[in-house]
Homo-oligomer: A and B are copies of this chain.
C-alpha cells in the first residue's frame, strides 16, 4: 500500500509560522482558533493582506517549522509497514525546495530522497492513500483521501478525517 503524505500543516506547522510572522510584523498575535475555517489573510486588516500572502514566498518561511505533534513517530510507524512518500505541492515557492528538503533530512531522516516529491499539482500522483489538509489536493486524488485537520479546513465535511497523528493507529489498523 502506497501512502502519500503532505508536508505543510500535516507534518510541518506552517499555520503557526503565519501567526508568528504576523505578530513580528504587526504586533498582533492571532491564534489558530481565530483562523478556524479561514486563513489569516482573510481576517487581518486589508492593508496587511498582501504582506501575509507574500510570507511563503520568503526563502526563510519554511525553515525550522515546528513538527506537528506525533507526526514523526506515526509517519515512521507507517513507513515501516507501508510504502510512504512525502509529497509537497511546493513548486509555487521554488526557493523553499532546498529548505524543505533539509527540514525532512533533519526531522524525518528515515524518508529516503527517493520517497520525496515536490510537485505543482497532486493530480499527477498515483497512490492508495493521500493524507493532506487541502480540498484541492484531496479532490483530484483517486485513492483514499484523508483530510488532516488544520485550522483552515475545520468546516470541510467531504472527507474521511484525521484530527491528529495518534488517530493514524486506528485509521491504518496499526495495532
A32 within 8 A of B: no
User: Contact at A112–B116, with CB atoms within 8 Å?
Assistant: no
A153 is an interface residue with CB less than 8 A from chain B: no
The answer to whether A109 has its CB under 8 Å from any CB of chain B is no
Write the nearest CB–CB distance from A116 to chain B, whole angstroms: 5
Number of chain A residues close to chain B: CB under 8 A: 27
A23 to chain B, nearest CB (A): 29
Interface of A is mostly: mixed
How often does this chain occur in the complex, in copies? 2
- Selected contact of A97 from candidates B92, B101, B120, CB within 8 Å: B101
Q: Which of B94, B113, B119 contacts A98 (CB 8 A)?
A: B94
Distance between A64 CB and nearest chain B CB, rounded to angstroms: 17
A66-93: which have CB < 8 Å to B? Answer: 85, 87, 91-92
Between A and B, 5 residue pairs with Cβ closer than 8 Å are: A87-B124, A91-B116, A91-B118, A114-B121, A117-B119
Chain B residues with CB under 8 A of A126? 123-126
| Assembly CA distance A127 to B123 (angstroms) | 10
Q: Chain B residues near A121 (CB, 8 Å)?
A: 114-115
B residues less than 8 Å from A125 (CB atoms): 124-126
Find the B residue at minimum CB distance from A2.
B124
